[in-house]
Amino acid sequence: MRKITRWAAILLAGMMTCTGSGFSTLTYAADVSEKKSELATATEEKTNNTIKKVKELGLSKSAKEAAIYLLSADNNPGYSTQWSIISYGMAGYSAPSNYLSYFHNNILQKIKDKNGEFSSSMDYSKLILSTQSLSVMGGTGSTDGMFHGYNLLDGLRDVEEVAKEGIRSEVWALLAVTSLEANAQKTDREVAAGNFLIEETGQEASIEDVIDATLVGYWHYRELADHYAIRVISQAMPDGSYNSDNTEAVDVSLTAQAVLGLTAYREIYGKDLSTSEVTEDALNTGIAASVNALLSQADLALEFDDLDGNRNSESLAWVILAMIASNHRNFDFIKAYQALLAYQNDNGSFCYLYSKQGSNKASNTATYVALMAMSLWRSNKRGKPLVFDFTQTKKDRVSIRVPDATSQVIEVAKKTTVTIQKMIPPIMIIMVALVLLIFFACLWLDYSEKKI
C-alpha cells in the first residue's frame, strides 16, 4: 500500500512538473505572439503617421506644378524631352493629345534619321521607357519594345558593347528591361507575341509562330534581366556603393539608380530565381549594402552631395526613390521631402543648387527627377513599388495642361482685382485724412486773417 502511495506521489509530481513546463511554454508562445502583434501595430501606426505628415506637405500640388512647368518648357517636345515624358507617365499624368503627337512624330523622325542605330545603349533604354510612357498616356507608343518596326530592345542585346559603356548604361538597361517585363506580365502574352510578329515581319503570324514566340520569347526579357542584374551586383564597391569613373568616391545618384534596378528585378523575378544565376542572398545583400552606403552619405539635414561636393536636389530625389523602392521603413521621408521642396521655385520648377539669395536657376533635369520622387510616394501607397511602372490606364490619369493666354490674362486680372480690393481701405483712410487736413488748414488760415 505504501509502495502504491509512493508511486502515485511520484507520478503526480511528474504530471505537475510536465504541466508546469507546458504552461510555461504556452505562456512564452503567447508572449512572443503578443510582442509580434504589438510590433506590427506600432509599425502600421508609424507608417500611417508618416503618410499623414507627408500628405500635409502638399506633394500632390507640388508635383502637379512641376509637371505643368515641364510641359510649358517644351514648346516642341522631341528627343530631348524624353525624361519629361517618362516622368509624366510614372507620375500618373496625361498630357494634351497635340503635345503627345508632336513628341511621337519628332522621336520617330529621329529614329528614322539614325536608321534605328544609336551610338549609346542609353538611347535605347530611354526610348523603351519613353515610348511606354507615351503609350499609356494615350499616344502612339509601345509597351513591348517595338516602335514602328524598330526593335528597340536590339540595342540592349549586345551585352558586351553595353558593358564597354560602363555601369550606368547597364543599370539603365536593367531598368528598361524590367519595365517591359512589368507591362508584359499584365497583358495577354499570346496577343502581344502575335502583334510583335506582325510588326516585325509585316504579315499575319501563324498560330505555330505565335506559340513559339510566346514560349521561347522573342524579347528574352528574363535572359537580359538576369544578365544585367548579375553585372550590376558584381560591380558594387566593397561598401555597396557605385562609381562610374573607377575612383573610391561614392556617386550617390548612380548608387540610388542601382538600387532601383535591383529592387525592380527583385519585385518581378524574386519569387522564382531557380533558373537564374542571381541568388536570393546575393540580391538582398547587394540591395541592403547599397542602401546603407547611401544613408552613410547623408548629412544632418538628410541631404546629399554630388561628386563635386555640392548639396543638390537631384541626389536627394534619387535617394528618396531608392528608399521607397527598397521599402526602407526607418528612412525619415518627412525630413527628406521637406528638404526637397526647399529647392522648388514659385513657377513649379526645381533648381539643382539652392541659394538663399534667391538666384535659383530652374533645371529641367532637377524638376523631372523631383517629380518622379514626389509621385512614387503615391504609387507606393497603391502597392506599386516599381519606379517605371507604366501600367496605369489613361482613364485613371490626371490631365495636365499649360494655361493658355486667355486664361492667364483672366488670372492676372483676378489677381489685380484682388490687389485693388485690398488697397481700397488704406486709400480711403488716406483720402479722408487729406480732406480733414485741408479743412483744418483752411480754418486756421481763415482764423489768421481775421486776427490780422
Degrees (nearest 5) of the Cα angle 353, 343, 173?
A: 75
* Lowest-confidence region among 35-49, 85-99, 347-361: 35-49
3-state SS assignment for residue 106: helix
Which of 42-56, 73-87, 197-211, 292-306 shows the highest mean pLDDT? 73-87
234 alpha carbon, distance to own chain's centre: 25
pLDDT digits (tens, 9 = 90+) for 380-415: 554 455 678 776 655 556 666 665 433 443 343 445
Helix (H, G, I), strand (E, B) or coil at 399: strand
Q: Give yes or no for residue 317 having a pLDDT over 60.
A: yes
Question: What is the percentage of the chain residues whose pLDDT exceeds 90?
Answer: 42
Residue 49 pLDDT level (bands cut at 50, 70, 90): low
Judge contact between 270 and 239, C-beta under 8 A. no
Of 268, 392, 401, nearest to 325 (Cα)?
268
Cell 483752411 belongs to 442
Distant-in-sequence, close-in-space partners of 62: CB < 8 Å, separation ≥ 6: 341, 344, 348, 374
Cell numbers linked to 253: 545618384
Assess whether pLDDT exceeds 90 at residue 24.
Answer: no
Grid coordinates representing 370 are 523631383
Question: Average of pLDDT values for 311-339?
Answer: 91
What is the DSSP secondary-structure string of 115-154?
TT--S-HHHHHHHHHHHHHHHHTTSS--SSSEETTEETTH
CA distance 399 to 392: 13
| pLDDT at 15 exceeding the cut of 50 | no
Segment 197-255, tens digit of pLDDT? 555 555 555 555 544 544 444 446 888 999 999 999 999 999 999 998 877 889 999 99
Is the pLDDT at 25 greater than 60, yes or no?
no
DSSP 30-81: HHHHHHHHHHHHHHHHHHHHHHHHHHHTTHHHHHHHHHHHHHHH-SS--GGG
- CB neighbourhood size of 153 (10 A): 23
Burial of 274 (0-12, 13-18, 19+ CB in 10 A): exposed
- Burial of 191 by CB count in 10 Å (0-12 exposed, 13-18 middle, 19+ buried)? exposed
- Distance from C-alpha of 368 to C-alpha of 366, rounded to nearest angstrom: 6
Give the range with max mean pLDDT: 38-52, 216-230, 254-268, 374-388: 254-268
Find out whether 306 and 253 touch, Cβ atoms under 8 Å. yes
Whether residue 260 has pLDDT greater than 80:
yes
CA 388, 368, 293 angle in degrees (round to 5)? 70
Angle made by CA atoms 199, 201, 203, in degrees to the nearest 5: 85
pLDDT tens track for 101-116: 999 999 999 999 999 9
Q: What SS3 class is residue 355?
A: coil
Q: How many residues does the chain have?
A: 452
Give the three-state DSSP class for 235. Answer: coil
Instruction: Give CA–CA dist 26/19, Å, rounded.
Output: 10
Contact 94, 137 (CB under 8 A): yes
Q: State how far Cα 262 lies from the chain centre.
A: 15
Max intra-chain CA distance, the chain: 146
What is the pLDDT, as a whole number, of residue 123?
Answer: 96
pLDDT at 256: 96
Residue where the block lists cell 496625361: 94
- Which residues make Cβ contacts (< 8 Å) with residue 282, sequence separation at least 6? 233
Between 354 and 335, the more confident residue is 335
Q: What is the pLDDT of residue 177?
A: 94
pTM exceeding 0.95? no
| DSSP state string for 198-219 | HHHHSSPPPHHHHHHIIIIISS
Least confident of 114-123, 249-258, 267-276: 267-276
